[in-house]
Amino acid sequence: MSDDRYHLHEPQRTGPHRQFANILSSASPGSDPDHGGVDETSEAAGSFVAEGVRSAYQVVDAYIRQGQRVARSLGLPSYEPPVPVSHVNELSARWIQASSELMAIGFEFLGSLAESMAAAGYPYPPRPGRGGHAPTPPHAPTPPHAPAVRVHFEIASSRPAQPDLQFLPGRQTLALASHGLRTLEPGVPTIPVEFEPAEHEGCVLVRILVPPDQPAGLYTGSPLHAQSGVSVGSLSLHLR
């Protein structure tokens, strides 16, 4: 074995070098050595700059430590050094959280997709009813996301009258027609109904003329889509 071993020299320093005064000396166009009385020598300047930077290190170190203490006391994640995730419960909680977020995004996506399809003219998906799936009429009276129709009633009646018009979901329309309102009692005349789109867009006027001798009772009928004749809801009039 040779005794001619290589020995490392003792390091000149064992701590971080924080005398940064000269690092940016080439990038200090505003620096004027003749200006002011501080920098008698570059060594002196380096000394007070090092002191200033050391102060800054102390400030930020103390700040971070304080932040970590506050965060721990409040149970906050901020300012906390990252903790390796190995605990099963922690992983489970994160898995559940991620799954719920994914489901929310999934529903949002499906909602957007349905809106896009509707906008492109695809028929609205049939809704399950009591007797199974309600068939979509061959000429759907309204697009599924038509703006809401506002209804005004104009009723000529000698009796107190309470009208009600309900549209089926997705079947609101201004183009309405009706066979009139009937009661279950035999022999009672039908009450005529007229529909008229009002001046204001999205509003329909329902005009009901009740004959003077019309008996009290509940009168019902179907408002129909004026072109296709498809029922779009229910119309009732309660005469007292």
Partner 1 sequence: MFQEAPPSLVPAVLREYGSLTREALSQYLPSHEPRRHLYDLVADYPNRGGKMMRPSLCIATARAFGGRLEDALRCAVSLELLHNALLIHDDIEDGSEERRGLPTLHVQHGVPIAINVGDTLTLLSLRPLFENHRQLGPRLSMRILEETEVMARESAEGQAIELGWRQDNDTTITEQDYLLMVLKKTCWLATIYPSRVGALIGTRGRIDADRFIRFGFYLGAAFQIQDDLLNLVADARYGKERDGDLWEGKRTLMLVHLLRHCTASERERVSTTLAGTREERQEADVAWLRERMEHYGCLEYARQIAHGLAGAALEEFRAAYAGLPDSRDKRFIEGLVTWVFERS
Where along the sequence are the contacts to partner 1 (CB under 8 A)?
Answer: 16, 18-21, 23-25, 27-32, 35-39, 45, 48-50, 52-53, 55-60, 63-64, 78-79, 81-82, 97-98, 101, 104-105
H/E stretch holding 155: strand 150-156
From the CB of 112, what's the least distance to partner 1, in Å? 11
| Residue 34 or 213 with smaller CB distance to partner 1 | 34
What are the φ/ψ torsions at residue 103 (nearest 5 degrees)?
A: -65, -40
Return the closest-CA partner of residue 67 out of 78, 55, 56, 75: 78
- H-helix or E-strand spanning residue 185: none
Q: State how far the Cα of 236 lies from the Cα of 226, in Å rounded to an integer.
A: 18
The answer for 175, left when phi > 0, alpha when psi is -120 to 50, beta otherwise, is beta
Least distance in angstroms from the C-beta of 86 to partner 1: 16
CB of 225 to partner 1, least distance (A): 38
Task: Return all residues near 13 (Cβ < 8 A) that are at least 6 apart.
Answer: none
Name the residue nearer to partner 1 (CB basis): 82 or 186.
82
In the complex with partner 1, the residue whose CB is nearer, 24 or 88, is: 24
Nearer to partner 1, 18 or 207 (CB): 18
CB of 49 vs partner 1, minimal distance in Å: 4
